[in-house]
Amino acid sequence: MNASRWAALLAIFCAVACDRSDEPDFRPREREIRPESNAGRRARRPPPAPAGIPAPPDVAAPPSTATRTESGLAYVTLVPGTGSEHPADTDRVSVHYTGWTTDGEMFDSSITRGAPATFGVSQVIAGWTEMLKLMTRGQKVRAWIPEALAYRGRAGAPAGMLVFEVELIGILRAPEAPENVAAPPAEAEETDSGLHSLVLAQGTGTTRPVATSRVRVHYTGWTTDGNMFDSSLTRGQPAVFPLNRVIRGWTEGLQLMVVGERRRFWIPESLAYEGRDGAPQGMLVFDVELIEILD
């Protein structure tokens, strides 16, 4: 796959570039990367480029029958969906899609890759976010997304108005905020540091992580007004990270747990992001399930 195609592919799922601080936080930073020798890299051939999917006959402009929104998005329904449930900003979706420029050039397709794409509704270009929130499961649409709702002239990304055919396969709902998200209840345990926690499900065994352990967990985080800001559940896979590379409330809290345990934490700002710009503010609430202690 050539460089321009990779750029187009990455652009679909990177609508907004997010600068990450080098400071530790709760999100996983590690990746399981297998070292590969120079000889292995030379010997491996790139996969052949997939055959393109022909552009629809109306790729150049939306037809008069298209529905238009106030933002400038236009779309037609090709296959109706089922039910009345629409994705929300905090949900993740599974879709099949193909994208063309208005001159009929295909620049990306999950169909040619042979697998649906899964991503957060709010983690894509604005036109996609708006379009997905209008769809129901099983619905297939053709959408004309103006440049102002796409890549806005970003270097290396597809330019101008873009045309996508999108089929919404599934919606992975974000967990709802707990009723006691605003403050820890009276029965919650409190440590000397001010960390509060409540066991939601008992685990097994007696082994607990230490401050240098690497763990596998599922988690969801909310601010105290009930706004969910991150969840491994909506990404569809557990997070793996070392406890000495996360916020202090996580380092302390996970050491209270055994494998299989699920616990809710109320982490004061002094043990979380301490007012760091761009990070969730104030006391944070996390539901955490300790799946495995890796080392």
Q: What is the pLDDT of residues 247-267, one digit of tens each?
A: 999 999 999 999 999 999 999
**24 within a domain of the structure (yes/no):** no
**182 within a domain of the structure (yes/no):** no
pLDDT of 233 reads 87
pLDDT of 89 reads 87
Residue located via tokens 């592919």: 9
pLDDT of 8 reads 39
97 catalytic residue (yes or no): no
Residue 54 has pLDDT above 90, yes or no: yes
Asked whether the beta carbons of 62 and 74 are under 8 A apart, the reply is: yes
pLDDT tens figures, 95-136: 999 999 999 999 999 999 999 998 889 889 999 999 999 999
Read off the pLDDT of each residue in 73-90 and give the average, rounded to a whole number: 93
Segment holding 12, helix H or strand E: helix 3-12
The per-residue pLDDT of the chain, averaged, comes to 85
pTM summary value:
0.61
Residue located via tokens 């009276």: 186
Q: pLDDT exceeding 70 applies to what percent of the chain?
A: 83
**59 within a domain of the structure (yes/no):** yes
Q: Structure tokens of 173?
A: 């709902």
Spatial distance between the Cα atoms of 150 and 167, rounded to a whole number of angstroms: 19
pLDDT of 90 reads 82
Asked whether the beta carbons of 197 and 283 are under 8 A apart, the reply is: no
265 catalytic residue (yes or no): no
Instruction: Out of 107, 230, 265, 267, pick the active-site residue.
Output: 230
Alpha helices, H only, 141-218: none
273 catalytic residue (yes or no): yes
**Domain final residue, candidates 110, 142, 172:** 172
Instruction: Out of 171, 273, 291, 293, pick the active-site residue.
Output: 273
Instruction: Out of 219, 241, 287, 291, pick the active-site residue.
Output: 219
Instruction: Out of 286, 287, 291, 293, pick the active-site residue.
Output: 286
Q: Are residues 164 and 206 in the same domain?
A: no
Q: Are residues 112 and 235 in the same domain?
A: no
Identity at 264, one-letter amino acid code: R
pLDDT of 51 reads 62
Residue located via tokens 């080098």: 22
Q: Are residues 135 and 10 in the same domain?
A: yes
Q: Structure tokens of 116?
A: 């649906």
Q: Where are the beta strands (DSSP E) in the chain?
A: 67-68, 74-79, 92-101, 106-109, 117-120, 140-145, 162-172, 189-190, 196-201, 214-223, 228-231, 239-242, 262-267, 284-293
Residue 22 has pLDDT above 80, yes or no: no
The total number of structural domains that make up the chain: 2
Alpha-carbon dihedral 295, 27, 119, 99, rounded to 10 degrees: -110
Q: Are residues 151 and 255 in the same domain?
A: no
Q: Are residues 100 and 232 in the same domain?
A: no
**Domain final residue, candidates 128, 143, 172:** 172
Instruction: Out of 125, 247, 291, 293, pick the active-site residue.
Output: 247
Asked whether the beta carbons of 92 and 124 are under 8 A apart, the reply is: no
Q: Are residues 67 and 160 in the same domain?
A: yes
286 catalytic residue (yes or no): yes
Q: Are residues 198 and 279 in the same domain?
A: yes
**36 within a domain of the structure (yes/no):** no
Query: Binning pLDDT at 50, 70 and 90, where does residue 201 land?
Result: very high
Spatial distance between the Cα atoms of 282 and 229, rounded to a whole number of angstroms: 13
Alpha-carbon dihedral 193, 23, 25, 212, rounded to 10 degrees: -70
**9 within a domain of the structure (yes/no):** yes
pLDDT of 37 reads 35
Read off the pLDDT of each residue in 174-193 and give the average, rounded to a whole number: 95
**113 within a domain of the structure (yes/no):** yes
Q: Are residues 194 and 63 in the same domain?
A: no
Residue located via tokens 């710009």: 277
The domain that contains 233 carries what CATH number?
Answer: 3.10.50.40
pLDDT of 132 reads 97
58 catalytic residue (yes or no): no
**12 within a domain of the structure (yes/no):** yes
Domain that holds residue 12: 3-19+52-172
26 catalytic residue (yes or no): no
Q: Are residues 164 and 63 in the same domain?
A: yes
Query: Binning pLDDT at 50, 70 and 90, where does residue 172 land?
Result: confident
**Domain final residue, candidates 172, 197, 214:** 172
Q: Are residues 226 and 152 in the same domain?
A: no
Residue located via tokens 């609430």: 285
**40 within a domain of the structure (yes/no):** no
Query: Binning pLDDT at 50, 70 and 90, where does residue 13 land?
Result: very low
Spatial distance between the Cα atoms of 233 and 292, rounded to a whole number of angstroms: 16
Q: Are residues 119 and 89 in the same domain?
A: yes
Q: Are residues 65 and 105 in the same domain?
A: yes
